[in-house]
């Protein structure tokens, strides 16, 4: 075999190997694709009247952690929450407390993935919104490259909630 033929053979094999690796990655389960740390991109709700609201505002912050053992942490925070004048979270004013409750949502628990239904089933142990404590919530998910969109048809702020995340590398 001459050098040119050897080079063509090697390039063909490497291209085939790259295709196989890419195909295997594309065929990994939704659960495998979810595992990791995600950072907030945007959250918005589409209300029944068609209006769009952004509960965390245009520059919200957040983190989603999904581990391989089926546990998760979900945290969304409005970045411009007011500082408490007393410097004590136990003695906030009514307005300070209202702003925090309306500007932050955190929860943790366990999760399952419905591969066929492309859904995330969250078993919420505890949440900053106590109505979620002990709840099971089913949310549609879409993953494209390193972007995850979670869709909750019964958003805590009303309407259908969309939260987009990007994978932390």
Give 69's DSSP letter: T
User: Quick check: 166 and 39 in contact, CB under 8 A?
Assistant: yes
91 and 153 both lie in a single domain = yes
- Residue 55: its pLDDT value, please? 87
- Residue 58: its pLDDT value, please? 87
58 and 75 both lie in a single domain = yes
47 and 9 both lie in a single domain = no
19 and 74 both lie in a single domain = no
Consecutive sets of 10 residues in the chain, 169 residues long: mean pLDDT of each? 49 43 60 97 95 91 98 96 96 96 95 97 97 96 96 89 95
- Residue 8: its pLDDT value, please? 43
User: Quick check: 71 and 37 in contact, CB under 8 A?
Assistant: no
87 and 9 both lie in a single domain = no
Q: Domain total for the chain?
A: 2
Range of the domain at 74: 35-167
Site of tokens 């245009």: 58
8 and 53 both lie in a single domain = no
104 and 46 both lie in a single domain = yes
- Residue 154: its pLDDT value, please? 86
Task: Tell me which H or E stretch contains 123.
Answer: strand 119-127
Give 140's DSSP letter: E
Measured CA to CA, the distance from residue 40 to residue 56 in angstroms comes to 10
24 and 59 both lie in a single domain = no
Domain CATH code at residue 56: 2.40.128.280
- Residue 18: its pLDDT value, please? 45
User: Quick check: 44 and 156 in contact, CB under 8 A?
Assistant: no
8 and 42 both lie in a single domain = no
102 and 158 both lie in a single domain = yes
5 and 80 both lie in a single domain = no
Sign of CA dihedral 137, 148, 62, 98: negative
Task: Tell me which H or E stretch contains 160.
Answer: strand 160-167
The reported pTM is 0.80
157 and 92 both lie in a single domain = yes
- Residue 11: its pLDDT value, please? 41
């Amino acid at each position: 075999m001459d050098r040119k033929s050897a080079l063509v053979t090697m390039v063909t094999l490497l291209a085939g190997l790259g295709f196989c690796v890419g195909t295997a990655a594309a065929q990994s389960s939704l659960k495998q694709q979810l595992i990791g740390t995600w950072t907030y991109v945007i959250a918005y709700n589409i209300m029944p009247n068609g209006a769009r609201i952004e509960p965390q505002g245009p520059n919200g912050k957040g983190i989603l952690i999904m581990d391989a053992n089926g546990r998760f942490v979900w945290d969304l925070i409005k970045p411009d929450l007011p500082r408490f004048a007393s410097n004590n979270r136990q003695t906030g004013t009514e307005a300070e407390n209202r702003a925090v409750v309306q500007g932050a949502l955190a929860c943790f628990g366990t999760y399952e993935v419905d591969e066929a239904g492309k859904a995330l089933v969250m078993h919420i142990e505890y949440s900053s919104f106590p109505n979620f404590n002990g709840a099971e919530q089913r949310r549609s998910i879409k993953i494209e490259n390193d972007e995850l969109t979670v869709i909750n048809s019964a958003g805590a702020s009303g309407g259908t909630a969309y939260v987009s995340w990007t994978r932390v590398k």
